[in-house]
Chains A and B, each alone.
Chain A
Amino acid sequence: MNVKKDFPIFNAHPELVYLDSGATSLKPQPVIDAIVAYYSTYSANIHRGLYKISEKASAEYEDTRSVVARFINAPSPNEIIFTSGTTESINLLTSTIGGSSVGQGDEVVTTVMEHHANFVPWQQLAFNTGADFKVIDINENHELGIMKEDGHIDLTNIITKKTKIFTITLVSNTLGTINPVKEIIAAVKAINPSVITVVDAAQAAPHLSIDVQDLGCDFLAFSGHKMLGPTGVGVLWGRKQLLDSMPPYQLGGDMINEVSLEKTTYAKTPHKFEAGTPHIAGVIGLKAAITYLQQIGLDTIAKHEHALASYAIDQINKEFGDEVAMLGPSDMGQRAGIVTFTFGTIHAHDISQILDDNNIAVRAGHHCTMPLHTRLDITASTRASFYVYNTQEDVDKLVMGLKKVKQTLS
């Protein structure tokens, strides 16, 4: 795969080895062009102007809903809500359905490998409502502890008749673990069919094909900026029946049906959840990003990243042996293109700084997974994450950079 030429940042920084796509992805020219085209040729507001450029903006915005729906195989574009990102998608849920369905003595269940975006809102919801907050642990292979050796999923004492919410990440942003979410949700619903199931797909949507109907979840959230799109735009998908039953999220313009001095009636799903002028350019940019990803093919992308991650793990292990401790499952079949490690006693910030001196960008720290780092008994780790524009040469440079880290600091 040779798509570096599509990413203008490499014209500005030809030497850049970008291995932090887990934090945010670089942007290809078609995405930048789509945003510039909106701002320079039809930058009108949507849903209200009775003139040509507003109608075009509305059409592009609403067409993106259909593109997103097909991207995740949602039954209807009306189940797609545009948000500012995964974080807002989750907060939308905790402040709407969370408030109306969770109470004293109920249970909210999540996992210890969640990003803070899918952990803190649920934790605080549970604390504020007096619900039990239950966290599924990982095993020594850095998969969820509910996965038993014979393939059985054991949710005994985890999911009960009191469970109201079950939320889980599809791909861990730190471990790279791909959770068997379809099977886990089936097991959850087998115990208690009324549990509302939420999937954080922030690290999955950029890299794997997603089918919400196949997963069997009730809600799924992801961000545009991690999948070649602009920052400030994200998606919440939800089952129409649930969305229709939920109260609105924010109140104001564009989300109403009729307003009088005495009362207000709300617009239908999904517009009920999109108050105010949305990030129109962002949504239009997201459509260009999805189109770009589909031209390459999600399966091709997954294979490419998987090959790079395997190569990186092999090369790092070969070069540094036991000095490096890899996080994540040893079975490459359970992993996405994320390689996270600790390097002896060398601090992740020092690793990152010396790699940056060699134009290699990685993530150092806790990657917004402090409960997971506490569970692993480490304060910080170093993460290299791969995407369409990365090459084997990037991995070789990473290994060279790590040799320099070792020379400098030990």
Chain B
Amino acid sequence: MSIYADLILDHYKNPRNNKMLEDPTSTVDVNNPLCGDKLHMELSEKDGVVEHIGFTGDGCAISIASASMLTEYAKGKNVSELVDLSGQDVIGLLGIELTPNRMKCALLSWEALIKLIQ
């Protein structure tokens, strides 16, 4: 089965939250040494809640779609709830089966999010 499911392609072609914020409370840069992909993510937190979140970067369809879907998921959630989010939860969010190599692409945005809120 192809990993390029309609939902993934939709988020790749029209990524949500693909922007910088005006007034972020924290920012982070992560990269995938396997392919050189870079991801910048930032969020603004208010009263323990993710108020705004955005990302920029170059990446493959899986990493872009994953950043798009994860930021959409995180927006409006309590930080205390997000710190418990596991990599497996993120894969579940994407709804596709990934080989070990592509797992790193899918989890780059999760690595960024966890670094932002820890």
A188: Cβ under 8 A from any B Cβ = no
Min CB–CB distance A124 → chain B (angstroms): 18
* Total A-B residue contacts, Cβ distance less than 8 Å: 45
In the assembled complex, A279 has its CB within 8 A of some CB on chain B:
no
B9 adjacent to A353 (CB under 8 Å): no
Name the segment of B19-27, B30-38, B66-74 touching the other chain. B30-38
Interface of A is mostly: helix
Question: What A residues does B12 contact at CB under 8 A?
Answer: 409
**Listed stretches A45-53, A318-326, A362-370; interface member:** A362-370
Q: Is the CB of B35 within 8 A of A365?
A: yes
Q: How far is the CB of A135 from chain B (nearest CB, A)?
A: 19
Option from A365, A373, A408 in Cβ contact (under 8 Å) with B4? A408
- B58 near A353: Cβ-Cβ < 8 Å: no
Query: Is B15 in the interface zone, CB < 8 Å from A?
Result: no
Q: How far is the CA of A349 from the CA of B3 in the complex (A)?
A: 12
Contact partners of A365 in chain B: CB under 8 A: 34-36
Chain B proximity of A361: nearest CB distance (Å): 13
A residues adjacent to B (C-beta < 8 A): 347-350, 353-354, 357, 364-366, 370, 373, 379-380, 408-409
Cβ contacts A to B, 17 pairs, < 8 Å: A347-B59, A347-B60, A348-B60, A349-B60, A349-B102, A349-B105, A350-B61, A350-B62, A370-B36, A379-B36, A379-B37, A379-B58, A380-B37, A408-B4, A408-B9, A409-B9, A409-B12
Q: A366-B35, A380-B37 known; 18 other A-B pairs, CB under 8 Å?
A: A347-B59, A347-B60, A347-B61, A349-B35, A349-B60, A349-B105, A350-B60, A350-B61, A353-B3, A357-B2, A366-B36, A370-B36, A379-B35, A379-B38, A380-B35, A408-B2, A408-B4, A408-B9
